[in-house]
Each structure stands twice: as C-alpha cells, then as structure tokens.
A and B are shown apart, each in its own frame.
Chain A
C-alpha cells in the first residue's frame, strides 16, 4: 500500500480560532482503498480537520492535495464534485424531505441533462435521465436496506437509520473518498456492528474511507491505519497494533476510559 501514491495528502495544516490552535502542523496521507481512522480525545481537532479537508474551513497554513491536485482553496461544492464526500455528525439530513428525496438530491453532481431548461421542455432525454437517477437512488436505498422507508420523512426515522441515510446521501454523489463523522455515535452494539459491515462493504466496492470516531471497538476492528490527534497535533500514526502499544497515545487516553476498555 505504501508503494501506490496517496489519494489524499495533507501538509502541515494549521488552523486557528482566535488565539486557539485547533490544528497544528497536521501532516498525513490517505491511500486508495484503505480505511483510515482519525481518533483523539474530545477537543483534539478531529471535526475541525474534517471541515478543513472538505473545504468548510480554510487552514491559515498548510495545503491539501487530492490526487496530487491542490484543493486547499476550493469551495466545499467543488471538492465534493471531485469525489470527496463527507457525512455530518449533527444536522446531517434534509429533515422535511422523504428518505428517497434525500438520496435523490445526493445524485445532484452526476446529473447533467436535468437542468431547469430541459425540465421546462420536458423532452425524452430529460425524462430518461430522471428515471435513471430515480432508479439509482432506489438502488442505493436497497443496498443499505432502507428501501421500505423510502417514503418516510427523514425527520421520522429512528436514530440509527438517520445515520445510515446520511451515508446514503453521500453515496449517491459517487464518492472516491468518503469521510464519515462519528457514524456509530449513539448506536447500540448491534447497530454498530451492522454499520461496521456496511463500511467494510463500501470499502470493498472501491471507496477509500476516512473515519473520525470515538468508539475504539469499531476503530480497532475496522481500520487499516490510525492517526491520533491530541490538542490539534498529530501524536501518532500507524496500524491498530502499533497504536495500541504506543505509550504516548495510551497516556493521552488514560483520562478517556473508552480506550482502556478495548
């Protein structure tokens, strides 16, 4: 894996908020086809990193490269259209729309012939594209076992299904890299296990995954590599085995019982 070029690289990312350094010189690489987890105690900067990688925040210093192309200054929608998708931990859905509508919106980037003008004319090519994407959206729902809930309102879904829907929306946009923000947060062990399987299946289908997560069981069980952040700095990077033996990491987590338990 270290012989293939990284699909995503960050170089000395630094991000301040006022006087506080949320991220300090963070450098790491993401390789195609792997599952990389970013872990760290609360306030370590994990979500900030995710926001910076996907264009929602600009780093004051440092750069990000996607397939050797610099994306540091790009807007979130440009980054998304290149194939870098993410989910949100909170406020992650289009709440007043149905499950199906949620996923259909995810197809936005791929739609070319569905513009307003074409809709107005309502010709054959428009209608064909529309049914094609409706079919694709439904297929994604099926893949995630959600086809029965297609007409439910997103707001009415049980919590675990809401997180799944968030992933379904990102999937619809045809990601090369999928960044998941605490996908098993608030789930019971059963749901977590199913989510882990889903994530593995996504990787099998060719998507590179970056996972921001707290749940050590999931992280240790599923990651190829792990990056550990603490107070905005990268303090370790390596395989799950290497990380679990890393004394610096262990000491940082001694206050956080979730690490010790696994």
Chain B
C-alpha cells in the first residue's frame, strides 16, 4: 500500500512508546503486537488456505503453556522457550491437521474445534502438570545477561514492546516470503480450486499441512510472548475469547491481507478500551461487531480504506 506509507508506519511504530509515555498506552502497544501476530497466524489458514480453523485459539494457549512450562520446569530462558514452543505448537498443528484435512469447510471447522476442546480439557484437568484452573504464575520475564556487559530484564512495557515489535516484523516478513514463492502460490491455488491445483501437480495435502503448521507455530509464539509478559496464565487462553478475538481481527480488518489483519488487531486492541463502560457486555459487542462486519463489510475495513485511497488518488490526478 505504498512504500512511503509503509516506511512511515514503521518509523511511527519505532517511536510510538517514546511519543506516548503513559504506561497504559504502552501496555496497549504490547497487546497490539501480540494480537497482530495472532491475527497474521490465523489469516494464513483463513485468508490464504481458505479454511476456517475454529480450533486456532488452542495454539495460542498451547504456546503460552509450553513456553511457561519450559521456563519454569526446565529453567530455559525465554530466548529458547520461545522458538521451542513455536516448534511444539507447529508440530501439534501438523498432527491435528493430518486427520482434519481429510475434511473441508464446515466439517474441518468443527473437527478442529473438537481438537481445541480436547486441548482445553487436558489443560484444565491435568492439574499435576498444568495446575489446571489455578493457572501458572511467576513466569519469568525475558532476560539478556552477558557478565560485565549487559543485564536487561524485559519487564517494563517499554522494553517488552520492542521485542514484540521484532516478532511482529518477523511474522510479516515470513508471511510475505511465503506468498511470493512456490509454496505460497500452491496454497492460494488450493484455496481457489483444489482439483485444478491437483491436476497441475500440487500435492495439496502436504501444502495444507504446511500452511496450518506455520499458522499454529506463529500462534504459539504469540502465546509465548503473552505468557512472559503477563507472567500469569490460565486455561482461558485456550478458550472462546481469543478465538472470537482472532476471528474479529481477521474478518473486520480484512481477510487475506497482511495490512488488513494488522488493522484488525489494532481495532481489537483499542475497542475494549473505548468500551470501558460496557465491560460486562464486552463479548456481546465483539460478537455484534463481527456479525455486522460479516454482513456489510465482507472484505474487511482495509478494502474500504484502500478503495477510498484509490478514489482520492485518482481525484488528485484530475
């Protein structure tokens, strides 16, 4: 959407916590980055592969739990726990995908939801390992220590924001690289016309698993960031709230568009704040927003903005 705009937004994102110094605003920025990664991860399966993985929220929670348990039980640093939890959720994603992709459309959606329910059941009931409904506390914050040189603990919103931003930029890069290569094109082809894709040699099952595995890995890493920021997690992370949130981000922002889902993440982060008054009806408002967006803005807000942009650009030429 214009190289200058991209550079401008990038610089803005680097300066944001310096411009807005209120810890609460910085907290929102951290949340925004984490949610943006989650939204991008969902969009890989929803926007590019064209399937509705209702079980996606499970990966977010699973990544959080994996990272927390790796850090607490094996004493691994965040910098190891993060990629390991990504790999773990990616592998679980592929395991879940293997039976699930025998189905399509609504059946795929329901089966993945079933898997998510199983994950939720296990996380909630395996108390000896996950502490069940009591959740996990005292998750360590990321830390870099080189004796005599550096000792930074990423506890504050300010410092945490920058590592989250790095993760977001990494996710954007990965997704862009995916789309512009043989693998990404195969995934799009499967979405558009699986039979045609098969007829020209695309091994559709394999590519579906890649897309799904990548999406779950990214979601898991978003979960890891969440865990080490809030430092307290509970089985709710595997629940409905983040699923609906992720769906809103993708559908409202703009399915199949990186800038769209990031915009969606922005809206999702800001929305609860503007609705402070309506705290108890928060989920209903989310659901209503989703429904209205599905009905009236099927391609998401971003397409509305883009067409407005093009209209303005062409008016300028006159």
- Taking beta carbons and an 8 Å cutoff, which residues of A are in contact with B? 54, 56, 75-77, 80-81, 85-86, 88, 91-97, 101, 104-106, 108-109, 111, 114-116, 118-120, 122, 126, 130, 169-170, 172-173
Contacts and interface: CB of A to CB of B under 8 A. Distances in A.
A170 B196 CA distance: 9
Interface residues of B, number: 25
Given A94-B188, A96-B192, A80 B198 contact: yes
B200 A126 contact: no
B196 A77 contact: no
12 contacts: A54-B199, A76-B195, A77-B199, A77-B201, A77-B202, A80-B199, A92-B196, A93-B196, A105-B202, A114-B182, A116-B183, A119-B182
Nearest to B185: A105
Most buried by A among B180, B200, B202: B200
Given A105-B185, A115-B183, A76 B199 contact: yes
A184 B38 CA distance: 47
Nearest to B192: A94
A109 B201 contact: yes
Interface string B169-202: 0000010011011111110110011011111111
B203 interface: yes
Nearest to B188: A97
B181 A118 contact: yes
B181 A105 contact: no
A82 to B, nearest CB: 9
Given A108-B200, A119-B182, 17 more contacts: A56-B198, A56-B199, A77-B199, A80-B199, A88-B196, A88-B199, A93-B192, A94-B196, A105-B202, A108-B186, A108-B189, A114-B181, A114-B183, A116-B184, A119-B184, A130-B181, A170-B199
Given A77-B201, A77-B202, A120-B177, A88 B189 contact: no
Interface of B: 174, 177-178, 180-186, 188-189, 192-193, 195-204, 210
Most buried by B among A92, A93, A94, A130: A94
Contacts of B204: 77
B181 A116 contact: yes
A80 B201 contact: yes
A105 B188 contact: yes
A119 B202 CA distance: 18
A108 B185 contact: yes
Contacts of A172: 200
Given A114-B181, A116-B177, A85 B199 contact: yes
Nearest to B200: A173
A82 B197 CA distance: 15
A169 B203 CA distance: 16
Given A92-B196, A94-B192, A173 B182 contact: no
A262 to B, nearest CB: 30
Contacts of A80: 198-201
A88 B194 CA distance: 12
A166 to B, nearest CB: 8
Contacts of A170: 199-200
